[in-house]
Amino acid sequence: MTSSPTPTPPPSGPLPSGGPGGRKPPLRRLTARGRDEVHRSATPLELFFDLCFVVAVAQAGVQLVHAVAEGHPGEGILNYAMVFFAIWWAWMNFTWFASAYDNDDALYRVVTMVQMTGVLVLAAGVSRAFEDHDFLAVWLGYAIMRLALVTQWLRAARAAAPPERRMAHRYAAGVLLCQIGWLGLLFLPEGGRPWVFLVMAVLEMSVPVLAEMDHPSSWHPHHIAERYGLFTIIVLGETIAAATVAVKSGVEENDALREVLPVAAGGLLIVFAAWWIYFVVPIHGHLRSNRQAFLWGYGHYLVFASAAAIGAGLEVAVEHAVGEAHISTLAASAAVTLPTALYLLTVWALHSRHFKVGIAQQLVLPTTALLVICCTFLGDWAVLAAGIVTALAVATGVALTARMTARASRAAPAA
């Protein structure tokens, strides 16, 4: 892979006018956008697209809650990992393609809405995938999304120069071949499906690397960072919504405010801290090459999956507090603390470690993750303790940053 990709230049001259006032025609060539384009931000269509994915994320979280609360965490986590990969990978492929090629014409919008339809079909099949191990609806929804993406890549290839055209054709071919490979989830014995998932996940993630090995796409660093940040906010929002519904149910149906209050307070602190930790530094300046961007983008599978799992864990903790979960206190606590620790470690690896100065700053999040895991053994107070620990981590980070800023300001006149 190239370490300093050369972006595809934007088309020369303005887009053709379709009428008075310089309005753009409804159909335009799907050409690459410039990587240095100013004021590149998320569009209303992209935000609408994300909202459709929230439906699928919510369905996966609900099924994870049921599996863990019924005492089947291993099976539930495996199914969650498989379904969430389909959700995340389809979202990620669209996001990076849109960053490079979004021309917002009528055909682009229609094909994107077809992809949204695929998301909703996938979401409708999540419960059957968990309960009956029937992946037909999930595969069908995924196929709709992926075939729509192939259409976009072929359309981009028509307007591209030879090196870029080869890249687009590689993407289209890779996506189609992988979609055929996912048929193994439908026809192979149940015991072989985890291996199908593992092999196909590796092949899927290899497609962008191979497609862009001699011509990188012109994704926009600031736009990509914003899109990932917005999806993180949406997932954290879904976590709050799920926890709120669980607390409401516990209070209204079981009159258990005293039991669920520590879970609610701890969960709110965890989510607030999760938001703060993710957005404390601007990451777009770090995304300078395909190598950096691929590692950062792929690593967000764990960020998104763990953030959504925190919400599922809070629901499990509430159900345990009111006596509706058939698991131990330790298991109910772990349902919150383990995804929280994974989130902290992943955000540190992808974001924070690139901006921290000195051992003290570097150790804040790893140490916090370890302490959160230790909170698992605190019984009914585990979630509240984990929330306090994460909140203190934020406070510690702010204090260390303030101290370093003060030192730098005092040293500036002397320099």
10-residue block means of pLDDT along the chain (415 residues)?
A: 42 41 75 84 92 89 90 89 91 93 92 94 90 89 94 92 93 95 89 90 94 89 91 90 81 77 91 92 72 86 94 91 88 95 93 68 88 94 95 88 70 57
Distance CA 344, CA 390 (A): 9
CB 36 within 8 A of CB 5: no
List Cα–Cα distances, 380 to 73, 140, 318, in angstroms: 19, 42, 10
The yes/no answer on whether domain 222-414 falls in CATH 1.20.1410 is yes
Per-residue confidence (pLDDT) for residue 280, from 0 to 100: 82
Residues 6+ apart with CB under 8 A from 367: 393
How many of the other CB atoms lie within 10 Å of CB of 81?
Answer: 18
- DSSP percent split of the chain into helix, strand, coil, nearest 5: 80, 0, 20
Query: Could you tell me how far CA 264 lies from the centroid of its own chain?
Result: 24
Distance CA 103, CA 260 (A): 49
Which burial class, exposed, middle or buried, applies to 272 when counting CB atoms under 10 A from its CB (0-12, 13-18, 19+)?
middle
CB 299 within 8 A of CB 358: no
Distance CA 355, CA 347 (A): 12
Annotated domain spans of the chain: 41-218, 222-414
Residue 322 — φ and ψ, nearest 5°? -100, 5
List Cα–Cα distances, 202 to 95, 198, 206, 318, in angstroms: 19, 6, 6, 36
Per-residue confidence (pLDDT) for residue 136, from 0 to 100: 92
Per-residue confidence (pLDDT) for residue 364, from 0 to 100: 86
Per-residue confidence (pLDDT) for residue 27, from 0 to 100: 83
Angle between helices 44-69 and 221-254 (to 10 degrees): 40
Nearest to 165 by CA among 174, 173, 156: 156
Single-letter amino acid, residue 306: S
Nearest to 121 by CA among 139, 141, 135, 136: 141
Which burial class, exposed, middle or buried, applies to 254 when counting CB atoms under 10 A from its CB (0-12, 13-18, 19+)?
middle
Distance CA 233, CA 50 (A): 11
Three-state secondary structure call for residue 292: helix
Distance CA 103, CA 37 (A): 13
> Which residue, chain included where needed, has tokens 């530094």?
281
Three-state secondary structure call for residue 43: coil
Task: Give the alpha-carbon dihedral of 190, 195, 197, 200, to 10 degrees.
Answer: -130
